[in-house]
Structure 1
Amino acid sequence: MTAPHRLVLDRLRDVVGGPARFRVIWLLSGVLGMAAADQTVAGAVAPDMKVALGVDNTGIGLLVTAASLMSGVTTLPFGLLADRVTRVRLLAGCVFAWSAALAIEGAATSYSMLLFGQLVLGAGVGAATPVVASLAGDLFPNADRGRALGFILTGEFAGAATGLVLAGEISALWSWRGSFWVVAAVGPPLAVVLLRLLPEPARGGGSVVHVGDALLGVGDGVA
């Protein structure tokens, strides 16, 4: 890492409140960013899919809407589930699931395969917001939880913009199928990193990460 890059990284750590907080924020922000990016792929490569599979404008609209509707439907059940299971594992599992859905869409030979992939994608993405909010609630104190969530939510907007541009460029340089596959390939490594670097916090706010903390899980009650 070059000196300017290290300086920027150190500055970001200071802004968010230290190394431990920085880790939590970039992990949770990364999940929301990926969720947002993955939902843009179908729309970004729609012109090529229309030609390759003979999908009309109505079909494309249904594909995009299906993921959003499924996400809305599954948000509440996943929120309830997050109160009863290990949240980090649930979040990682959903990342794996929606990445597999994108891979299926990239290999689609029919409209029904695309629609199935979008529904699975939406179901997995539906877990992201409630689970991330639950984790943040136990990792950040009331006094500055809103500020921390603000940093985390920036990933969602950045991911949507990045996914749209990236999918379009890959489609132009390679193929619309490649757009799905490349974006899907990011999911499994992110899920593994979540499992390795984000310990499950104790419920009820008992695992607060304080400003300046260098490590997670040391003296904070993080399991």
Structure 2
Amino acid sequence: MPLPLYLLAMAVFAMGTSEFMLAGLLPDIASDLDVTVGTAGLLTSAFAIGMIVGAPLVAALSRNWPRRSGLLGFVLVFATAHAVGAVTTSFPVLFTTRIVAALANAGFLAVALTAAAALVPPDRKGRALAVLLSGTTVATVAGVPGGAVLGTLLGWRATFWAVAALCLPAALGILRGIPEGREKGKATGGPVLRAELAQLARPRLALVMVLGALVNAATFGSFTFLAPVVTDTAGLGELWISVVLVLFGAGSFVGVTVAGRLSDQRPGSVIAIGGPLLLVGWPALAVLADEPAALFALVFVQGALSFALGSTLITRVLYEAAGAPTMAGSYATAALNVGAAVGPLVAATTLTTAAGNLGPLWVSGLLVAITLLIAFPLRTVVAAGRSAEALRQDVRTPW
């Protein structure tokens, strides 16, 4: 894999740390800003909503920008938003900074996904995506738990400052490692943009975007509210939140790495095996969450399965959006973050029910069940292998 791909992953690490870090900080943020944990959880949804709106919007606005300048600008805006968030005492202001940071993240990721796919041969998009997403999974292994520890020791604001600082070496890496200039083949005409947007009407693309969003909703629905499961349900101390986040992150790294080797040629195998296991895992975690050993094991497994299945479906989005070369990354980003927005919103409604802290885990199981019910009758579409390239050669990969 080319070096610039790893430099992009470095920036994704900083942004992934921010996107996931709230899972370990929500109780402290809620207490400091005098809001409920459920309300504080809306910060995750705010970030996701900004990503949903920002991905296609910012990608469309920046599609003719020089690639390096665009990526650098997005990283610097992202850092500034975190610096403002670190000093505010107002929840609405913090909420706003999360939206601004999300817009910057969306623009960066939309460009980076398209750039990553362009850096490798057409049939290796899955591996390129795995390298790029490794920045997110490493964030869950190191960045997010480190942020949780920093937040426990120095307060949640220190974590926001740390994320802003992480953006600086990422910006330097982009400046030195990404060539200036526009993407090869990048279109400048309005009619071409309209043609790319018209790709969204294709049923195959819409299907894999919906499935990717559902799986990510299940992932974020539970991940966002893991902290109270650890401290209240399992009865462990606050520092154990970091341990659980490390286990989830380690699992996600394993999952996205394995899926990266399979999602180009055998996406159906990942979905057929990983889907049912993921479906069983969320209810199992809800039932066994009061047993620390089971909690630790299942969090690792669910992290692996969630990211294996989710990254495979997002790879399918890139293939199915091959007819939208400058907008494909934004479609993949939007699919990821529709789930990230909906998941915590739905999960938060269960916190005040009889299910309590375990409600989000049951919601995740339900979302995966819906995913599989939709996917099964359309399995030949979801598991089509290298899609755009393969379809032109009449290749069909069995479920």
TM-score range, shorter chain: 0.7 to 0.9
Q: Distance in 2 between matches of 1:160 and 1:73?
A: 24
Partner of 2:45: 65
**Residues 199 and 88 of structure 1: CA distance in aligned 2, closer, same or farther (over 3 Å):** same
Q: Does the aligned pair in 1 maintain the 2:66–2:183 contact within 8 Å?
A: no
RMSD: 2.1
- Largest Rg, 1 or 2: 2
Which range moved further: 110-119 or 143-152?
143-152
Q: Does the aligned pair in 2 maintain the 1:78–1:127 contact within 8 Å?
A: yes
Percent of residue pairs bearing the same amino acid type: 26
TM-score (norm 2): 0.44
Partner of 1:80: 60
1:138 to 108, 118, 122: 118
Asked which structure has the greater RCO (Cα within 8 Å, sep 6+), the reply is 1
Partner of 1:157: 137
Partner amino acid for 2:77? A
Written as runs of structure 1 = structure 2, the 5 A alignment for 1:156-195 is 156-195=136-175
Partner amino acid for 1:184? A
Structure with higher helix content:
2
Cα deviation for residue 142 of structure 1 reads 2.0
Q: Does the aligned pair in 2 maintain the 1:138–1:201 contact within 8 Å?
A: no
Cα deviation for residue 154 of structure 1 reads 1.8
Q: Distance in 2 between matches of 1:136 and 1:200?
A: 15
TM-score (norm 1): 0.75
Partner of 2:91: 111
Partner of 2:245: none
Cα deviation for residue 143 of structure 1 reads 4.3
The CA deviation string for residues 5-26 of structure 1, in whole angstroms up to 9 with x for no partner, is xxxxxxxxxxx4xxxx1x2121
Cα deviation for residue 201 of structure 1 reads 5.5
Q: Distance in 2 between matches of 1:59 and 1:200?
A: 42
Specify every segment of 5 or more residues in structure 2 that has no aligned partner in the other structure, as ranges: 187-399
Q: Helix, strand or coil: the match of 1:154? A: helix
Q: Helix, strand or coil: the match of 2:41? A: helix
The CA deviation string for residues 105-145 of structure 1, in whole angstroms up to 9 with x for no partner, is 11111112211111111111111322012222332232434
Which range moved further: 73-82 or 90-99?
73-82
- 1:31 equivalent in alignment to 2:11: yes
Partner of 1:49: 29
The CA deviation string for residues 157-212 of structure 1, in whole angstroms up to 9 with x for no partner, is 22234332011100122121111111211112311221122113653379xxxxxx
**Residues 178 and 51 of structure 1: CA distance in aligned 2, closer, same or farther (over 3 Å):** same
Specify every segment of 5 or more residues in structure 1 that has no aligned partner in the other structure, as ranges: 1-15, 207-223
Q: Does the aligned pair in 2 maintain the 1:78–1:131 contact within 8 Å?
A: no
Q: Helix, strand or coil: the match of 1:45? A: helix
Q: Does the aligned pair in 1 maintain the 2:25–2:148 contact within 8 Å?
A: yes
Partner amino acid for 1:106? A
Q: Distance in 2 between matches of 1:128 and 1:179?
A: 21
Partner of 1:125: 105
Aligned residues: 186
**Residues 143 and 62 of structure 1: CA distance in aligned 2, closer, same or farther (over 3 Å):** closer
Runs of 4+ in 1 over 4 A off after TM superposition: none
